[in-house]
């Protein structure tokens, strides 16, 4: 993922808006995360860039996409939320602050599901854009779970299936809900997932053959 793709996608959705701040956010985040790598060996900056791109696919506004690029800076680098606010303003800083706050919620199992759900909704009432950023952050994390130990993969997938996906459904963000559920199913029930995937591929080949035979 590159900042060029993010800016291009954003401009497709908002052609009249100057997106220069996205470049500035990239420069700031890239410098802050420089030298950091993820578990899969990729530069850390790839993760916030993917998060921001997912937000552009949702046609998010400029502040939200900017915050997507910056969302891990206060928690994972030496730069503070005050640094973010000084450089990018109060609106972006509040979004980043909200995402950081949500990240501190700890999953304690289904028995505390309602409590966590309530906390997330209370946090959401300040600004629903915080939830959008957190969902995109989680979706990209799910896409890169292979690099984590099996027990951690299962914990993250279970948490997503029991907390994040239902909230996405309640908010009507069906595309994110379905993508999260598919990825969780893959890690929690790999045999069933592979079986369904094989059935789907067979069905797709049959349909393709039927279509071309009719043509």
What are the tens digits of pLDDT across the range 61-74?
999 999 999 999 99
**Tokens 């996205």 identify what position?**
22
Sorted by where each starts, the structural domains of the chain and their CATH numbers stand as 3-214 (1.10.3210.10)
Q: Which of 12, 75, 201, 203 is catalytic?
A: 75
Backbone angles phi, psi at 188, to 5 degrees: -90, -30
- Total count of residues recorded for the chain: 215
* Cβ 105 vs Cβ 120: under 8 Å: yes
What is residue 104's predicted lDDT score, i.e. its pLDDT? 72
Query: What single DSSP character describes residue 62?
Result: H
Asked if pLDDT for residue 188 goes beyond 50, the answer is yes
| 203 in active site | no
Q: Which of 30, 42, 61, 76 is catalytic?
A: 76
pLDDT band (50, 70, 90) for residue 2: very high
Separation of alpha carbons 88 and 46, rounded Å: 20
pLDDT band (50, 70, 90) for residue 210: very low
Separation of alpha carbons 185 and 196, rounded Å: 11
| 76 in active site | yes
pTM: 0.83
What is residue 211's predicted lDDT score, i.e. its pLDDT? 47
Average pLDDT, the chain: 84
**What token pair was written down for 78?**
């030496």
What is residue 107's predicted lDDT score, i.e. its pLDDT? 62
Mean pLDDT of 52-58: 96
pLDDT band (50, 70, 90) for residue 196: low
What is residue 146's predicted lDDT score, i.e. its pLDDT? 86
Asked if pLDDT for residue 39 goes beyond 60, the answer is yes
Instruction: Report how many helices (DSSP H) and strands (DSSP E) the chain contains, helices first.
Output: 12, 0
Separation of alpha carbons 40 and 60, rounded Å: 28
What is residue 200's predicted lDDT score, i.e. its pLDDT? 45
> In this predicted model, which residue has the larger pLDDT, 105 or 166?
166
């Amino acid at each position: 993922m590159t900042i060029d793709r993010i800016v291009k996608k954003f401009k497709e959705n908002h052609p009249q808006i100057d997106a220069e701040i996205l470049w500035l956010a990239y420069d700031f985040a890239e410098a802050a995360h420089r030298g950091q790598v993820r578990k899969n060996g990729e530069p850390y900056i790839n993760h916030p860039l993917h998060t921001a791109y997912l937000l552009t696919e949702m046609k998010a506004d400029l502040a939200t996409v900017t915050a997507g690029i910056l969302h891990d800076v206060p928690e994972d680098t030496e730069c503070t939320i005050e640094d973010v606010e000084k450089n990018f303003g109060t609106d972006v800083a509040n979004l980043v602050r909200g995402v950081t706050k949500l990240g501190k919620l700890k999953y304690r199992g289904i028995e505390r599901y309602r409590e966590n759900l309530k906390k997330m909704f209370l946090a959401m009432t300040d600004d629903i854009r915080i939830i959008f950023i957190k969902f995109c952050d989680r979706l990209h994390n799910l896409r890169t779970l292979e690099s984590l130990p099996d027990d951690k993969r299962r914990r993250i997938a279970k948490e997503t299936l029991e907390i994040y996906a239902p909230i996405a459904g309640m908010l009507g963000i069906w595309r994110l809900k379905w993508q999260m559920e598919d990825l969780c199913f893959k890690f929690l029930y790999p045999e069933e997932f592979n079986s369904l995937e094989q059935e789907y591929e067979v069905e797709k080949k049959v349909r393709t053959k039927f279509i071309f035979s009719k043509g």
